[in-house]
Structure 1
Amino acid sequence: MARNSMRKHQTTSSAKNSKSTGSIRIISGLWRGRKLPVHDAEGLRPTTDRVKETLFNWIASDIPNARCLDLFAGSGGLGFESASRQAAEVTLIELNATAFQQLQKNASTVKATNINVLNQNSLNFLKQPAKPYDIVFIDPPFRQGLLAESIELLESNGWLNSQALIYIETEKELQMPTLPNNWQLHREKVAGQVRFQLFIRE
């Protein structure tokens, strides 16, 4: 699970060490140009700036005042970018304790008032009573079989507003699980070994 950019993801492993070896860059918004540190934790996989820029070109007009959920948040690259672009509320779910602590520190560094970070298993979070979100980012650790259950829980437990946007990032070779009938593919692209897709819930 290794790519060479700035978003990292939750893992069931504990961190190897506590040193910061990378950073995420905020592309636009209130914190444009800011770089926030990322911990080098075992099993965490980053996303490229190229993918992040493409995604936010797709959804830029939908972010302001939206409620956003960043599952398997890792470095929080997508969540912090959304908050910088004035999302009303951004919830980041991260299981890895070291990565979670860094997310909290980064939120404090930028004095974010619209970011909520939870140290929790993303699937367990989705089994709780829901408060619907407008935009959901699903970028689970590769090859751990987490995507299908994430999708099922989001739809069946009421986590999605009508017309919600759902972003999914996976390994290119992954056969996508069955999606809800009301999820319509809006955009899709492949970059290197990664496939990323944007769905609209209708």
Structure 2
Amino acid sequence: MRIIGGKLRGLRLNPPTNLPVRPTTDLAKEALFNILQNQTELEGIRVLDLFSGTGNITFEFASRGAESVLSVDRNINGLNYIKDIARKHSLDCIKTFKADVFKYMDLETEQFDIIFADPPYDLNRIPEIPKIVFEKNLLTPGGLLIVEHQSMQNLSNQPNFTEQRRYGHSSFSFFNQPEI
């Protein structure tokens, strides 16, 4: 794993091997951030990284100038790794929160410009993520939700779906919060 762009471009990330995670591949991450760079300004945005795991996506947003990135996961070892790397590289914009993601979303009242969710592929509640995000109004107007999931899964019937991009066995589904 490496950071693809921004001030920490090229930095290799070596998370603990015992974490129960499946990090987004560098190829898929590079494609995702190419899409994002063409759609929105990444500098100064507020990001929520759900099921943050190793912080792969968190670090990419922070490297590219996000104002704040909140990483939520229930695995303390992954969150400790994120904290350590953030401290080591002076990424003060990164905060972590240990919680079950669904319980967290039920209680959250802040809004974010981008929400990225990379749940375990075998999680049967993946279709609930867009529903909760839009019911709880967690995105700013014009905000973007991205859910990473298995390519065979179809989320196009969820609220505010715009497109799905496939990268091998992984896909990103995009959802937009309408402008006011």
Q: TM-score, normalised by structure 1?
A: 0.81
What amino acid is the match of 2:3?
I
| RMSD of aligned alpha carbons | 1.6
SS of the aligned residue for 1:36 comes to coil
SS of the aligned residue for 1:147 comes to coil
Instruction: State how far apart, in whole Å, the 2-side matches of 1:92 and 1:40 are.
Output: 19
Whether 2:7 is the aligned partner of 1:33: answer no
Which sections of structure 1, spanning at least 5 residues, go unmatched?
1-23
Cα offset, 1:184, TM superposition: 4.2
Cα offset, 1:38, TM superposition: 1.1
Aligned equivalent of 2:129, options 136, 150, 159:
150
What per-residue deviation string (whole Å, max 9, x for no partner) do you get for residues 153-173 of structure 1? 211112111111111111111
More strand by share: 1
What per-residue deviation string (whole Å, max 9, x for no partner) do you get for residues 19-50 of structure 1? xxxxx311111111112221223531121101
Cα offset, 1:146, TM superposition: 2.7
**Which segment is superposed worse, 40-49 or 133-142?**
40-49
Q: TM-score, normalised by structure 2?
A: 0.91
Aligned equivalent of 1:85, options 64, 75, 95:
64
Cα offset, 1:198, TM superposition: 2.5
Match of 2:93 in 1: 114
Q: Say whether the 8 Å CA contact 2:47–2:115 is kept in structure 1.
A: yes
Q: Say whether the 8 Å CA contact 1:83–1:89 is kept in structure 2.
A: yes
Cα offset, 1:189, TM superposition: 2.1
Instruction: State how far apart, in whole Å, the 2-side matches of 1:32 and 1:129 are.
Output: 31
Cα offset, 1:95, TM superposition: 0.9
